Structure 1
Amino acid sequence: MTAVPVAIGRRTTTPAPAPERGDGRLVDTHGRVHRDLRISLTDRCSLRCTYCMPEQGNEWLARTSILSTDEIEEVAQVAASLGIRTFRLTGGEPLLRADIVDVVRRISRIEGPDGPVEVAMTTNGITLAKKLPELIDAGLSRLNISIDTIDRQKFADLTRRDRLDDVLEGIAAAAASELRPLKLNAVAMRGVNDDELVDLVQFAMDVGAQLRFIEQMPLDSGHTWDRASMVTREEILESLGARWRLDPVPGRGGAPAEKWRIDGGPHEVGVIASVTAPFCGACDRLRLTADGQFRNCLFSNSEYDLGAVLRESAASSPAERAEAIAALLRSCVHGKLPGHAIDDPSFLQPARGMNAIGG
């Protein structure tokens, strides 16, 4: 079976077959070893953030196209055997998936060559307080919660939903749990929350969490991203530096966030500067969309159709299906470019929005 990438918005070619490696690890042509798979469970969300999707008129993925729990578990087992250590469940909003606890339980019991895998989740936190005990019992080990503002009116304007209290309740439940490190994600936006950067960091410190600011990326479904409205890494650091002493934390590795220790510690703040300070050279992440498309970069315009592989191998033995999935993963990794080239004049924004790709 030949793995063929599906072109999304730009011409692409079929990559050469990926070379077999003796240890079976997922290593691309630039020497990057891949250890992280982000699995989107749905493209639906309980919020309508202005930088992500319109309030109405969204075209959702057909429910029949969404990967089943059995399929997600099957793919995770193969990925783990190839060296994937961390599975991050995303969306849309992953807590909207009715079987979310079962998904966590099934993945968390998988073991790879280096032992048990880790299951993390990124959520908007709206129903987290209610579901968190079951998720922890099922094996959830890490949590990121998105919160761009702690101002009630701003939150309602930005998300088009008056749900700040629910998010704060979810954060409080997570802060009271044993899940550490607890991370809060905030997209920094000019004229929206750039006057709250210090307040957001202080809020995170007060609840025992680490705030991570994210540069706004060209991933909105309406393709209205404007670099001028993006608050840059340097601007974020300048704003925080006026309030605290920031000392760089060494040993970033493949992590997306640069970190700084605040006033000598113990608190830290992170910045994910995908646009102005890309970290592609150390990227170890792959993505799987809710409808079964592997992506080797958040900004890629090519996808590798897992659904077709699963359908074509439906009557095959479990071992043959596993090898077909592994072959697609290897091809996806082999086709990974050295970087996303947002600053290149030829850059084209992905056709899918962030909610459809998976955070």
Structure 2
Amino acid sequence: MTHPGAVATDAFGRRFSYLRLSVTEVCNFRCTYCLPDGYRKTGSMDFLAADEIERLVRAFTGLGIRKVRLTGGEPTVRKDLTQLIARISATPGVEKVALTTNGWNLPRRIDEWVGAGLTNLNVSIDSLDREAFHRITGHDRLADVLAGLECALALPLKTVKVNAVLLRDGLEEDFSSWTEFVRERPVSVRFIELMRTGDNKTFFEAQHVSGRILRQWLEDNGWTAKARGEDDGPATEFTHPGYAGRIGLIAPYGPGFCDGCNRLRVTARGQLRLCLFGQGGRDLRDLLGSDDSTQVLKSRIVEALTFKPAAHNLHTANPGDIRNLAQTGG
């Protein structure tokens, strides 16, 4: 059994305050770097139910988790998403409830999500060019997504961020359209280095570029890196005195990327992933059937963390057993 004051730590002394919880593997976009052929059902759709998610979050908060991010697939395809947000927000110990979404449902639903307790929002927008957005995602929905983002900016959210995958095709122009985008908007736009997965080898080899390109461009144009907060994700964010927003870089191929890891991941089927790009994980679902299993569940999580690796093996072209990012929520 765990000690009442136990916290989520691993063998390398890293403490975990941030849980990324996938609530579905389904996605309605066909992004070139993730699901170019669209989502294809690979098994039963028995994703974690609301009661199971509530028990899971309660156990993690008992181990020091303070921030919970709902991911997918695309989490907004779940009809009970508002209920999930409300339940997690009401869990003692939870200070932030975040959502990562492709934005397709933002204009219609963001008000009710914030009303239910959503505090932080990330929207995936891989290009500000309509044709490029359509080509990357398979949907001509850029105007709708941007409209939803503007709705979100008018609401009392702690942070609104934009995620964009850094692709070689996108380097035909410099990053000035994005810096102009954040000139008057208090938004953080974070570029994510394309990561190798089991399904995207050919695409990765054609499209991967180092985050050093963005870093150098920002530094050359007067942007300065700022320190990370305790429960921030892995982005290095850059600020400029003339801009309301920030530009960020998530560079998993950079040195020391895993040293400050502060996040744990649970899949939509209840498996604790010890590393996004690792092999397998530890099943938790068999302990989510009743409230009586909380202490045993916490003990299993603490024991599993002793096997968390020091770092991923992406540098050796080994993505573990992850087929695509929709599989575990990225």
Query: What TM-score do the two structures reach when normalised by structure 1?
Result: 0.85
| Post-superposition CA distance 1:225-265 (Å, at most 9, x none) | 535622212101223344x3011213455630112212465
Residue 146 in 1 paired to residue 129 in 2? Answer: no
Stretches of structure 1 that go unaligned for 5 or more consecutive residues are 1-18
Which whole-Å CA distance do the structure 2 matches of 1:220 and 1:173 have between them?
36
Which amino acid counterpart does residue 181 of structure 1 have in structure 2? T
Kept after mapping to 1: 8 A contact 2:122/2:162: yes
Q: Which residue of 1 aligns with 2:294?
A: 322
- Please point out which of 233, 236, 248 is paired with 1:258: 236
Which amino acid counterpart does residue 248 of structure 1 have in structure 2? A
Kept after mapping to 1: 8 A contact 2:182/2:245: no
Residue 280 in 1 paired to residue 263 in 2? Answer: no
Q: How does 1:212-231 map to 2 (within 5 A)?
A: 212-219=190-197, 221-227=199-205, 229-231=207-209
| Post-superposition offset of 1:197 | 2.4
Question: Structure 1 stretch 90-99 or stretch 173-182: which is displaced more?
Answer: 173-182
- Please point out which of 309, 313, 324 is paired with 1:337: 309
Q: Which residue of 2 aligns with 1:43?
A: 25
| Post-superposition offset of 1:142 | 0.5
Mark the CA change 1:174 to 1:254 in structure 2 (over 3 Å): closer, same or farther. Answer: closer
Kept after mapping to 2: 8 A contact 1:188/1:194: no
Which whole-Å CA distance do the structure 2 matches of 1:239 and 1:61 have between them?
44
CA RMSD, 1 decimal = 2.2
Q: How does 1:129-140 map to 2 (within 5 A)?
A: 129-140=107-118
| Post-superposition offset of 1:21 | 5.3
| Post-superposition CA distance 1:126-165 (Å, at most 9, x none) | 1011111111111000001110101111111111111112
Kept after mapping to 2: 8 A contact 1:259/1:269: yes
Mark the CA change 1:323 to 1:128 in structure 2 (over 3 Å): closer, same or farther. Answer: same
Mark the CA change 1:271 to 1:48 in structure 2 (over 3 Å): closer, same or farther. Answer: same
SS at match of 1:281: coil
Which amino acid counterpart does residue 342 of structure 1 have in structure 2? L
Residue 26 in 1 paired to residue 4 in 2? Answer: no
Which whole-Å CA distance do the structure 1 matches of 2:5 and 2:39 have between them?
47
Q: Which residue of 2 aligns with 1:184?
A: 162
Kept after mapping to 2: 8 A contact 1:257/1:272: yes
Kept after mapping to 2: 8 A contact 1:293/1:306: yes
Residue 106 in 1 paired to residue 79 in 2? Answer: no
Residue 90 in 1 paired to residue 90 in 2? Answer: no
Q: Which residue of 1 aligns with 2:53?
A: 72
Which whole-Å CA distance do the structure 2 matches of 1:38 and 1:66 have between them?
15
Q: Which residue of 2 aligns with 1:248?
A: 225
SS at match of 1:173: helix
| Post-superposition CA distance 1:88-144 (Å, at most 9, x none) | 0001111111000000000001112xxx43101111111011111111111000001
Kept after mapping to 2: 8 A contact 1:184/1:211: yes
Kept after mapping to 2: 8 A contact 1:25/1:33: yes
Q: Which residue of 1 aligns with 2:324?
A: 353
Mark the CA change 1:331 to 1:356 in structure 2 (over 3 Å): closer, same or farther. Answer: same
SS at match of 1:157: helix
Kept after mapping to 2: 8 A contact 1:198/1:240: no
Which amino acid counterpart does residue 327 of structure 1 have in structure 2? S
Stretches of structure 2 that go unaligned for 5 or more consecutive residues are none
Which whole-Å CA distance do the structure 2 matches of 1:219 and 1:205 have between them?
34
User: How many residues are treated as equivalent by the alignment?
Assistant: 329
| Post-superposition offset of 1:41 | 1.0
Which whole-Å CA distance do the structure 2 matches of 1:167 and 1:336 have between them?
37
Which whole-Å CA distance do the structure 2 matches of 1:192 and 1:349 have between them?
27
Mark the CA change 1:74 to 1:140 in structure 2 (over 3 Å): closer, same or farther. Answer: same
Which whole-Å CA distance do the structure 2 matches of 1:267 and 1:192 have between them?
21
SS at match of 2:169: coil
Residue 302 in 1 paired to residue 302 in 2? Answer: no
Mark the CA change 1:136 to 1:95 in structure 2 (over 3 Å): closer, same or farther. Answer: same
Percent identical among aligned pairs is 33
SS at match of 1:111: coil
Which whole-Å CA distance do the structure 1 matches of 2:113 and 2:133 have between them?
26
